[in-house]
Structure 1
Amino acid sequence: MAITALGYLGVRSDKLDDWSDFAGGLLGMQKIDRGGKALAFRMDDKMQRLLVSDEPGDTLAFMGWEVAHKDDLQAYAARLDKAGVRVNLGSKELCDRRFVEGLIWFEDPMGNRVELFYNPMIASDPFVPGRPIDGFRTGPYGMGHAVLHVKDIDVMLPFYRDLLDFKVTDYGLTPYGLYFFHVNGRHHSFAMVGSGQEGFHHFMVEFQNLDDVGQGYDLANLEEGRVAYTLGRHINDLMTSYYAHSPSGFFVENGWGGMIIDEATWEAHETHDGPSFWGHERLYLTEEGGRKRLRDMRLDAAERGVRGPQVAECPWLYGELAKLGK
């Protein structure tokens, strides 16, 4: 049994008009009006990837993870039940709302709702982006990635790693605990930030064309306070990206060129050089609140000549670099 991809995300917000402009106009998703107090957005041939609903509760409503086979739902349900996790079977009405054949749902140790689903519905009409883009990198890699704030990584780590089979890609312990997990060839589909907080940190969408990221960055800079992290490049997954403030307060990473790993040869390892080669200035932080510390880590990495490979996709090379601890 296996979880194969991040399939969809659900967000609670009473700012549906703002989300329509943000997800459609800035990110380039296709808006689908589901009627009532909900908006859905497409990124590809799937019926929906993001659902925003006007209802009470925490900002992150649910994470939907796709499983490879129908029997995997029962297998994971049995494993979770044995570990003392209450598992709920998704009703037909819920499955219809998610446009999937079947699902189960439960909560992680911090109360985040997790849904495992099988066989998402394919749309009959082609994807039409909300602004001119070449599309998103999805397919076998799923929607992108999701990142949570966590109070206690030691509690959350075994839940996702041991019960749900998320595989650790790499991790960093400075300036705070960061764990990255893969469920397919995408460097990470899930991550935890050991910030001591709770809630949604960000989700990432990856564009097919670097220019689509750059043009979105221009659009974001037209709105005062929209950009949260400036354009930069991450050290671990090699993603070139910027982060935008979403209408709900958490971030959305807009990226291109993320690493595709060879799952068969990849070895988990600790990273030591900080989050980014360059850029990603945290505009939302104060100097004393971490902005200077993260900047100094980038400048130190630059002074030591830390560089990433200029290769769009090379799983073999990435695997070799991981063995060397680079």
Structure 2
Amino acid sequence: MAISALGYLGVRSDKLDDWSDFAGRLLGMQKFDRGGKALAFRMDDRVQRLLVSDEPGETLAFMGWEVDCREDLQAYAARLETAGVPVALGSRSLADRRFVTDLIHFNDPAGNRIELFWNPMMASTPFMPGRPIDGFNTGPLGMGHAVLHVRDIDAMLPFYRDLLDFRVSDYGLSPYPLYFFHVNGRHHSFAMVGSGQAGFHHFMVEFKNLDDVGQGFDIAQQQEGRIAYTIGRHTNDYMTSYYANTPSGFFVESGWGGRVIDPATWEPHETVDGPSFWGHERLYLTEEGGRARLREMRLEAARNGRRAPPVADCPWLFGELAQKGR
């Protein structure tokens, strides 16, 4: 019994035109009008990866996590209900709207809706990106990752780690608590920021080509206030990325070159170098509100010679380069 990947996300917004431009032209997703004030977006051969709907409620509508077999849904439902978490079986009409065969749904301790699903529907037509890109790194690694603001990380940790089997990749305690979790070889598919707030922090999509990230950054810079973090590289998953402000107030990270780990041998550990080796200047923060502190952590990492390992020690990237050299 295991959750294998982040399969899809749902967002509530009354700014559908803005989302059409953001997800289609900036991120390069393929847009579909689902009717009833809803837009859907593809990233690969799946029918749907992102759904944006104009309806009341919190910004994050749901997170969809994939399981390997139908029996996993029953097993997780039984475990959750034993722990006192109410679980509902998704109706046939809901499964059809999610383009999956079966699903269950429930809320985490902060009220975020979680959907576990089995057997997603594949599209009958090729993926056609919204701008010229080489595509997204999805497949068995899933859609990317999702990150939540949390008020009490100690209350949320047992839910995801012990009930849903999310495995801790690493964690940091300064300047604020951060926990990163893996469910497959992607370094993290889920994370929590102990910011004292609640809500959606960001989701990440990983491009197959670094130039697609850079060209997206150029596009984003033409839109006033669109850039939230400048281009930089993270210390834990080695992702080179930038963050954009979405029409709904949270961020989307556009990245490349993320770390792939071996879940069977990985050991969780504390990181002390801060979130980034370099870059990722938080333009949305004030100097007093954390921007100066995070900058000093990057400069300290540089003074200490902290950096990612050579390309040959980055399994995914090394494998990609080896394949292209054949």
TM-score by structure 1 length? 0.96
5+ long unaligned stretches in structure 2 = 319-326
Tell me which residue corresponds to 1:106. Answer: 106
Q: Which one-letter code corresponds to 1:139 in the other structure? A: G
Matches within 5 A, 1:210-225: 210-225=210-225
Contact persistence 1:262–1:315 (CA under 8 A): no
Distance of 2:151 and 2:80 partners within structure 1:
22
**d(CA) in 2 for partners of 1:314, 1:74:** 37
Q: Report the CA distance between 1:313 and its aligned residue.
A: 6.6
The separation in 2 between residues aligned to 1:300 and 1:108, in whole angstroms, is: 37
Amino acid of the structure 1 residue aligned with 2:296: D
Is the partner of 1:291 in helix, strand or coil? Answer: helix
Alpha-carbon distance in structure 1 between the residues aligned to 2:11 and 2:264: 34
Q: Which amino acid aligns with 1:81?
A: E
Aligned-residue sequence identity (percent) comes to 80
Match of residue 132 from structure 2: 132
- Judging changes above 3 Å, is the alpha-carbon distance between structure 1 residues 231 and 294 closer, same or farther for their aligned structure 2 residues? same
In structure 1, the gaps of 5 or more residues are 319-326
Alpha-carbon deviation of 1:35? 1.1
Task: Name the counterpart of 1:323.
Answer: none
| 2-structure distance, mates of 1:156, 1:241 | 27
- Match of 1:281, as an amino acid? E
Residue 324 of structure 1 is matched in structure 2 by: none
State the partner residue of 2:181: 181
SS across alignment from 2:311: coil
Matches within 5 A, 1:231-250: 231-250=231-250
* Separation of aligned partners in 1, 2:199 and 2:219: 27
Which amino acid in structure 2 is aligned with residue 228 of structure 1? A
In 2, the alpha carbon distance for the partners of 1:160 and 1:20 equals: 32
- Counterpart residue number, 1:62: 62
State the secondary structure of the residue aligned to 2:131: coil
- 1:214-254 per-residue CA deviation (whole Å, 9 max, x = no partner) reads 00000000001000000000000000000000000000000
Cross-structure match for 1:31 = 31
Runs of 4+ in 1 over 4 A off after TM superposition: 315-318
**Matched residue SS, 2:193:** strand
Alignment partners' CA distance in 1, 2:143 and 2:278:
26
Secondary structure of 2:285 counterpart: coil
Work out whether 1:51 is the aligned partner of 2:47. Answer: no
Deviation, 1:315, is 4.6
The CA distance in 2 between the partners of 1:312 and 1:62, in whole Å, is 37
> Shift of residue 310 of structure 1?
2.9
TM-score computed with the length of structure 2 as normaliser: 0.96
Q: Identify the residue that residue 40 of structure 2 maps to in structure 1.
A: 40
